[in-house]
Amino acid sequence: MAAMKLDPYYRNFPSNVNPPRTPFSRSGTADAGHIFLYLTNSRKWSLLLDGSRRSSIIDEAQELIQIGYNQLWIFEKLFSTRKARRRQPVSKADFGYTFSQSAREKLDRSEWPGKLIVVLREPYDFHSSSRDVLSYHLKVEEATRSAETYTRLKNRRAVVGLMLGDVYWH
């Protein structure tokens, strides 16, 4: 029996950029400045949202996303990786790389918006027990290096986002 594909994206936000695309669709700093949402427990994402409509995004989310046991994280896209056409060589340093969790512990939770940079992996289109958050950082360069290392190791895309909001979605 074939596994049923899951769609991890909310696709019907009025603020979606046109043409609609995910935070992973265009690599590098393309689409930097656009906004995306991530719900932590349900592991659902928005498509990229128009950054100029930032003030209305929470209102749109309240209309479109069912309240549940989640944190609604709002990010500004800074960077995303591109999968290689063929698998990249992995160095010994890559195998020893640890994805940082310490940056979020250095800040009080109320300080996360505007300071905390998060690296998230591209979601699978099937149920997976793997978490989407790879690492937390205070410097863009470290976050970018973390995303690129993950992509080399796993041949999956990653996105770097500056947290703009951390909203209880209960």
pLDDT digits (tens, 9 = 90+) for 96-147: 556 677 788 889 999 999 999 999 999 987 766 678 999 999 999 999 999 9
Residue 8 lies in a domain: no
Residue 64 lies in a domain: yes
CB neighbours of residue 133 within 10 Å = 16
Pull the structure tokens for residue 79: 């960077």
Residue 5 lies in a domain: no
Residue 4 lies in a domain: no
Domain around 54? 21-168
What is the C-alpha to C-alpha distance for residues 79 and 94, in angstroms, rounded to an integer? 20
pTM, 2 dp: 0.88
Residue 111 lies in a domain: yes
Which tens digits make up the pLDDT trace of 19-66? 999 999 999 999 999 999 999 988 999 999 999 998 899 999 999 998
Alpha helices in 37-138 (DSSP H): 57-64, 92-96, 102-106
Structural domains counted in the chain? 1
Q: How many residues does the chain have?
A: 170
Residue 139 lies in a domain: yes
